[in-house]
Structure 1
């Protein structure tokens, strides 16, 4: 716990481990926090485009800063992230990092925390929040594309946001990983009433999905738009640079596309490529997450509409997640 003086000013920074962070967060509470605070704080948080470096052809280093201009939210922070996509062969997360939170009043360090778990929680909860506005409320089948470290988080977030879900298909290039994860989650008490199944042919199951969630490093389209069922919601999480893509042009053509923030328009391979090929224009994007939550844009407008949500990550969301963890920790 942080030490304080008589004015309750924190004098010593605290370190919040991954274990402690996981004991503080749940997907439901973080989704609720994003929903209640995102429209308000987005008006006074400054978030420059993240800096992206490539130490090697296959790895990335990202710097994601954000700061508040309002005394009601006295924070500034930065997330340092590495992306090593081949870590799966080492049974390590592909995305790892640290988050440092400062006081925007004094500049002193308040806390540093593991941002590997923070990123898994915040990324999945953004998807869960978006699905509350874009997925059908009677959705019953979730297709999870990818079985990496993010997959269990995405499943938990979507189940939290859409309680009507009853069946989860998990696909992975390595079928054994999909079946192992399905078996593991199927044995969890929290998923009582849900059935899980691992599968090796995405084309066979993607058309069953009321919600299809993708978290892969693919540079070739996995989801084919012609196979999506009428009324489906597609959640795209994996790509964050123009060379990466998880769905084809037909998906973008058929769907009403929404993004987590404007950076997706220049970073997400699915959208960058679609713009270049004239499949869709930037003006046809349905809106951002802030606009959806704030009520400035309408999400799903009919049960037959296909919706697509593309997220690339946001320093605003990182800040909100870190703020929630820090304030919960210091109150305990």
Structure 2
């Protein structure tokens, strides 16, 4: 079994390759059982969640990701998410590779965010606001710039020093105008009102974005919360907006959606479609590239995305070995 460390896992996952690969994967057929979710409640008071996510495809690959989420890690200076991924031959069950699940998760999540925006954000969207400063949040400008003409990048975080540090990191990477939003709720409101795309990649359990702040024509991207207890947007974010989800599982797992349905600002049957439906052309995205309609994309993640990214890493290694 081959081992891919973080550097080797990361190398083939450029968004110019990964986003189209995800689009093709969602348009094709694959087997993706519902994830297994287990709550961890330690005697020390630390709480976490373990997810086990399998998937297999007609291409002959089977993958299983184990992912541990501990929201309290931020106070320890540690990432809130840690994952491992094992890729197998789906015909024989033979293990092929152990990969860095953190890199796979971050890249595929940011790529799915961009894939959703490729259908739902205005064609001229250039101002991106990122909520959060974790591994996934750091990748969102590059991901969205692969599908939209992003020029201005702003970050907000409940820890202002984290936002300032990430903005500086982006500037060092070539995003000359990257900046941190003003701290606190007032700073967040001002940043949301100015953004074409608002992308939330947090582990929040209380709404951060309010619907009254969202500008006409804006696209709200919710990719952080993945349990009924987590939420990044209030119920009004879904009112008078066209809402899309990554998979049907989002309707039972996402606290944002469950709150909106309970409040009456969203009906489950009014959800416009999934990523698969968008990629297959079974439903339309934004009605016009320049329209003032608001769109929302809610993702809880799919094992198909992990399998697609892992397959890309594996096939890239075979191609390099044959040179």
Could you state the TM-score of these two structures normalised by the residue count of structure 2? 0.93
1:321 aligns with 2:309: yes
> 1:228-269, CA deviations, whole angstroms, 9 ceiling, x for partnerless residues?
000000000111111111111110113211001011000000
- 1:66 matches 2:55: yes
How far apart are the structure 2 equivalents of 1:23 and 1:52? 30
- Inter-partner Cα distance in structure 1 for 2:229 and 2:240: 22
Paired residues for 1:5-16 under 5 Å: 13-16=1-4
Alpha-carbon distance in structure 1 between the residues aligned to 2:136 and 2:195: 19
Out of 292, 310, 315, the position equivalent to 1:304 is 292
CA contact (8 A) 1:144 1:170 kept: yes
Deviations 1:126-178 (A, max 9, x none): 0011100000110121111111221111121111221x211111101111111
Partner residue of 1:198? Answer: 180
Q: Distance in 2 between matches of 1:325 and 1:91?
A: 29
Take 1:223 and 1:50, find their aligned partners in 2: how far apart are those partners? 27
Aligned: 1:279 with 2:268: no
Q: Is the 8 A contact 1:225 1:254 kept in 2?
A: no
Please give the residue correspondences for 1:1-332 in structure 2 after superposition, counting only pairs within 5 Å.
13-40=1-28, 43=29, 45-56=30-41, 58-68=47-57, 70=58, 73-162=59-148, 164-189=149-174, 191=175, 194-199=176-181, 200=183, 201-302=187-288, 303-332=291-320
Distance in 1 between residues matched to 2:8 and 2:88, nearest whole Å:
19
Aligned equivalents of 1:67, 1:240: Cα separation in 2: 22
1:215–1:237: 8 Å Cα contact kept in structure 2? yes
Partners of 1:290 and 1:131 lie apart in 2 by: 14
> Per the alignment, in what secondary structure is the counterpart of residue 11 of structure 2?
helix
Q: Report what 1:9 is aligned to.
A: none
TM-score (normalizing by structure 1): 0.91
> Tell me, what secondary structure is at the counterpart of 1:161?
coil
For the aligned residue pairs, the C-alpha RMSD in angstroms reads 1.2
Q: Give, in whole Å, the separation in 1 of the partners of 2:147 and 2:259.
A: 30
Contact 2:2 2:96 in 1 (8 A): yes
In structure 1, list runs of 5 or more residues that go unmatched. 1-12
